[in-house]
Each structure stands twice: as C-alpha cells, then as structure tokens.
Amino acid sequence: PPLYIITPTYKRAEQLAELTRFAHTLMLVPNVSWLVIEDAFEKSPLVAKLLDKTGLRYEHLTAPMPEEYKNKKSGPKPRGVSNRNKGIQWVRANAVDGVLYFADDDNTYDLELFHEIRYTKRVSMFPVGLVTKLGVSSPIVKNGIFSGFYDGWIAGRKFPVDMAGFAISVKFLLQRPNATMPYKPGYEEDGFLKSLTPFEPKEIELLASNCSKILVWHTQTKRNDPSTTLDLTKYGSTNIEILKK
C-alpha cells in the first residue's frame, strides 16, 4: 500500500536544509507520495527545484495560513494547519487506499517507521522522542494493551499525542468525510483525532514493538536569522541563490 506523507513547510533560512534532509530519508522509502504544502501564496521556485531533484513522486501545493491567525499579535499560532487540511483534501480527491502520515519538515525519522505505519488498518500510534520536558510522548502499554497516554502536556485532551505520533488509513479517512484539523493551537492533533469519530483510544493500533521503540524524534533546528539581508549580488556574485527574508 502507498504512503501519503503530508509535510507542511514555510519560508525561513532553514527551510531548504530541513527539506533536503527529509527528502533524503524519503528517497530510501518505497512507494511514497510526498505532499509538500507551503504556507505561502505562491510556490517557492527553490522548493520546486529541490523536489524535482529528488526523483520522488510528489505534489507541490500551497495553503497560506488564514490572515486572522497570521496577524495575531500574541500567543501561539495554528502552525501547519491550513497546509495539512489542504493535504487531506488532496488525499480525499486522489487516493483510494494506503496510509497517511503528517510529517513536519524538521523532525527526524527512522526508516523503520515507514515499514511500521504502512499496514495501519485504522489509526496507529507510536512513541515520539524529544517532546516536552518529559522527553517522550507515547501511548502507555501494559501487557500488550493500551492503558493511557504519557505526555508532558495532557491539558484535558482525549488524545494527548504529538502530530508525529500517529498514522491513519486512507480508507478509514475516506469513510469520515467530516474529519478535519481545527485551527486551535495545542489542540490540532486532539481535534483531528476526535473528528475521526467513531474512534476511541482503546482501538489504537500500537506500533514500534508495543510502543517500546522511538522511531521518530521531534527535533528542532536552532534558528539562524541573518541580522542583515544577505545580498551577495552586491559583491558581484551571481552563482548563489539565497533565501531572502
């Protein structure tokens, strides 16, 4: 069965580095379609060129964050939500089977993860490393049976899990035409998983050897914002493409 990997991305100095690293992981995975969705009004030519170079089967789409959230003065923003909903929409229109996974552009993925999730029948879950101060977010498994969630921020969530900690069957999604991700910072995963009703935590398929292995890490790249706008053309250089802020 095919894997549909939905990756939200946005323009910043680290973008091409993150996408290059993740592309190189996906180039080692058979039968994948990579849906790369930019939080932007127009496709970046640099991203387009990168995607083309990989030889992967991909879709390059855009889905800007709605202005009302983008212009918010304070507090967290619903990062990657418009992008993921656009990806879901694409899957509904183009896929008939297989498995969908939300893979942020900056995480680190073990190739084994893609073997594990490929046979998801409904919704599968597994540990994610380097999330919150607890260092891991995971379903708790006792004697092979689901018995709750371990997460540094439960916050009244029915599904206190990270975006990278679950995969879902396309057939299962298609049977739920109303499933969508809410613009609700901190509650995107919970809201999406709740929208898959009917679906209860006890039905989760436990992967990664009963959730005993970490196959994905929520890594975060240190920001490197050049304080002045880089412009090598000023020095006569024409041979380097630079992401201008």
Kindly tell me which of 79 and 122 has the beta carbon lying closer to Mn ion: 79
Kindly tell me which of 181 and 208 has the beta carbon lying closer to ligand UGA: 181
Residue with tokens 């920001």: 223
Kindly tell me which of 116 and 188 has the beta carbon lying closer to ligand UGA: 188
Where does this chain bind ligand UGA (CB under 6 A)?
A: 8-10, 39, 65, 76, 79-80, 83, 104-106, 162-163, 185, 188, 218, 220
* Closest to 92 measured CA to CA, from 179, 195, 13: 179
CA separation (Å) from 89 to 41, 58, 196, 212? 17, 15, 15, 33
Q: Under the criterion CB under 5 A, does residue 104 sit at the interface with Mn ion? A: yes
Residue 83 C-beta: closest distance to Mn ion, Å: 13
Cβ atoms of 167 and 100 closer than 8 Å: yes
Residue with tokens 């899957």: 91
| Contact pattern from residue 171 through residue 190 relative to Mn ion, giving x for each residue in contact according to CB under 5 A and a dash for the rest | --------------------
Cβ atoms of 204 and 127 closer than 8 Å: no
| Angstrom distance (rounded) from CA 166 to CA 51 | 25
151 binds, among ligand UGA, Mn ion, none (CB under 5 to 8 A by kind): none
Half-sphere CA count of 34, side-chain side, radius 13 A? 31
Residue 40 C-beta: closest distance to ligand UGA, Å: 9
137 binds, among ligand UGA, Mn ion, none (CB under 5 to 8 A by kind): none
205 binds, among ligand UGA, Mn ion, none (CB under 5 to 8 A by kind): none
Q: Which residues are catalytic?
A: 189
| Angstrom distance (rounded) from CA 183 to CA 91 | 20
Tell me which stretch binds Mn ion (CB under 5 A): 2-10, 15-23, 103-111, 168-176.
Answer: 103-111
How many positions of this chain bind Mn ion (CB under 5 A)? Answer: 2
Residue 185: Cβ-neighbour burial (10 angstroms; 0-12, 13-18, 19+): middle
| Angstrom distance (rounded) from CA 189 to CA 180 | 10
Kindly tell me which of 116 and 189 has the beta carbon lying closer to ligand UGA: 189
Record the tokens describing residue 180, joined without a space: 């969508």
What residues line the site for Mn ion (CB under 5 A)?
104, 106
